[in-house]
Homo-oligomer: A and B are copies of this chain.
């Protein structure tokens, strides 16, 4: 713990940033007519705002705490976050440079002669990376990263036009296509600005430095609001790739400018002056009233970001029609459309949701960005309700379908996150760079923001969402300072010790999450059993808390064998293995030589096959994982059964017993290319 930066130190660091933000800001003098210095809320001040600033959101039951309030120094996420900060973010910064993403900006100010590079949405890669840096800096200063970010922000902001427009693709000859109907559909102009605002917000909340945020505000206030929106004197907006919606609401949370909230509503509602075919509003998941949606469909990331924006809008307005729609879509998500990994998006074709229960494994798309969008959406639903079912989805996506997206090294990324894989088909699943490089910085910003997801405050206390070695230093909403120290080996072990230390004794409630996956659990406070813990609920622990009080949570961590709804046809007759929040998989290279994964089944002679597991923590394997062992069978099909189709009566062939070794899904494809499968046939002997 020696390297810890205290809250006090951090605030000092932030104060030193203020000097930096006092540096001459050439843009305002270049463009004197621009919107600058829009007042930003000081309640709470920038360095007390969380991932979302819900402090004044009337329909947010739970409020975010700032990222810096939680320190994670050891344990599961500590090593992932170290890889993120030490390897992922720096290497991605270099790759963005190497692939011309920054030269795209410099070209517009004459600082580069390089031609435009990258797809139409390439600006967003830079903004997402800046968001990752912003969240990183919220956990403590990183001068080398901040210097790069500052330099990039200068180049970005310098490329902004006096009228507020900012986009490196629709420049030069393509400037005439700005905001044209087809450009709104495919050009990602507002998507880019949405990410600019998110990146700028994270950076502002880390440093107090608002140069980039002001650029975003200029785009919205000077370019967008005067000319676009409802009414005959304005041009219509089609969001194209939802993202601006959630960004506008978050901007409103900082500026209090209701025009921004109303614009978000307008975009969520669609504008029937823009003629769309059904396939357009299906694929883009925008352009018709959000509240008319009945199920998730189309491009998964678009749908998730749209749901985020709609949930954000609800948190500010309490609009019941939005809430109903959000719940309808959420039910669709968890009952028909979500992978067991928390991944979403069944189809590569259109990166899209499929039909109900269409959840193929090898063909799964499960884009990393979509799983992240799923977590973001559920974070907003959780804030609205304090209902643990949303936290369950967050944990499922985070530990599995998101976590799988970044290699253990931190430098390779999955775009797709399939649930079965065979390298023979020629795919390389982890890559350091994609020309459409949305996923890598998205993963980076998510891991960097992670401490902000651990707790929320409510009117009457504190919600504990995630379990991990950590230290919270924050305060309740009534101002009572509070330190909460978690000691645990979660997710490898189920015991969590939570020391609660208010600055002075106070009565409040700790809402302790009992994960939906847990069977039995026991809770004690200062050694005294507390009844009523129920899986999938928060257990309210109301008492007069005194410094040093200890909550002891013991979750049963035995492996579970799960089946899927019979309508998920690819999972028929198959089971998935989960232990705690972690979904497991088989990789070919862990199984005995000569046994093909495609011929392997989990073997049981028991009605409770989960009792056949043994587990062991393998320190040297995959940065340290709990490995599961279970008896399996290699099914050697008879000749007849090796045919593509054969009579049901054909002799089955031999079966031999083989020991099976399962590893956590998130850690797959970190060694040699090898087949992988999550859903394994279950064979009853």
Q: Which residues of B contact A424 (CB under 8 A)?
A: 356
Q: What mask results when residues 521 to 559 of chain A are scored 1 for a CB within 8 Å of chain B, else 0?
A: 000000000000000000000000000000000000000
Contact A572 B360 (CB under 8 A): no
Complex Cα–Cα for A643 and B682 (A) = 19
Contact A566 B641 (CB under 8 A): yes
Contact B681 A566 (CB under 8 A): yes
Complex Cα–Cα for A233 and B560 (A) = 70
Contact A566 B599 (CB under 8 A): yes
Q: Does A97 contact B (CB under 8 A)?
A: no
Q: Does A432 contact B (CB under 8 A)?
A: no
Most buried by B among A361, A362, A420: A362
Q: Does A355 contact B (CB under 8 A)?
A: yes
Contact A648 B563 (CB under 8 A): yes
Interface size class of A (residues with CB under 8 A): 35 or more
Contact A648 B568 (CB under 8 A): no
Near B by CB (< 8 A), chain A positions 635-657 give 635, 637, 641-650
Of the candidates B347, B572, B576, B682, the one whose C-beta lies within 8 Å of that of A681 is: B572
Contact A361 B569 (CB under 8 A): yes
Q: Does A422 contact B (CB under 8 A)?
A: yes
Q: Which residues of B contact A567 (CB under 8 A)?
A: 598
Q: Which of A239-247, A369-377, A457-465, A605-613 contacts B (4 or more CB under 8 A)?
A: A605-613
Q: Does A592 contact B (CB under 8 A)?
A: no
Can you tell how many copies of this chain the complex includes? 2
Q: Does A334 contact B (CB under 8 A)?
A: yes
Of the candidates B422, B644, B648, the one whose C-beta lies within 8 Å of that of A575 is: B648
Q: Which of A4-12, A335-343, A404-412, A466-474 contacts B (4 or more CB under 8 A)?
A: A335-343
Residue of B nearest to A572 (CB): B573
Query: A212 CB to closest chain B CB, in angstroms?
Result: 38
Footprint of B on A, CB under 8 Å?
Answer: 334-336, 338, 340, 347-349, 354-356, 358, 360-363, 420, 422, 424-425, 560-570, 572-576, 598-599, 607-610, 635, 637, 641-650, 681-682
Complex Cα–Cα for A647 and B610 (A) = 10
Of the candidates B335, B563, B645, B681, the one whose C-beta lies within 8 Å of that of A563 is: B645
Contact A561 B610 (CB under 8 A): no
With A572-B572, A572-B573 in contact, is A635–B566 under 8 Å at CB?
yes
Of the candidates B564, B570, B608, B649, the one whose C-beta lies within 8 Å of that of A570 is: B570
Q: Which residues of B contact A336 (CB under 8 A)?
A: 644
Q: Which residues of B contact A610 (CB under 8 A)?
A: 648-649
Query: A205 CB to closest chain B CB, in angstroms?
Result: 36
Contact B361 A561 (CB under 8 A): no
Residue of B nearest to A420 (CB): B569
5 more CB-based (< 8 A) A-B contacts, given A334-B644, A420-B569: A347-B349, A566-B599, A570-B570, A572-B572, A573-B573
Query: A395 CB to closest chain B CB, in angstroms?
Result: 14
Complex Cα–Cα for A563 and B637 (A) = 12
Query: A563 CB to closest chain B CB, in angstroms?
Result: 5
Listed by A's residue number, 17 A-B pairs whose Cβ atoms lie within 8 Å are: A335-B644, A338-B644, A354-B363, A356-B424, A360-B363, A362-B569, A560-B647, A565-B637, A565-B642, A565-B643, A565-B645, A566-B641, A567-B598, A572-B574, A572-B681, A575-B648, A610-B648
Contact A566 B355 (CB under 8 A): no
Residue of B nearest to A427 (CB): B355
Complex Cα–Cα for A406 and B141 (A) = 69
The 4 closest A-B pairs by CB, nearest first: A349-B349, A573-B573, A561-B648, A355-B425
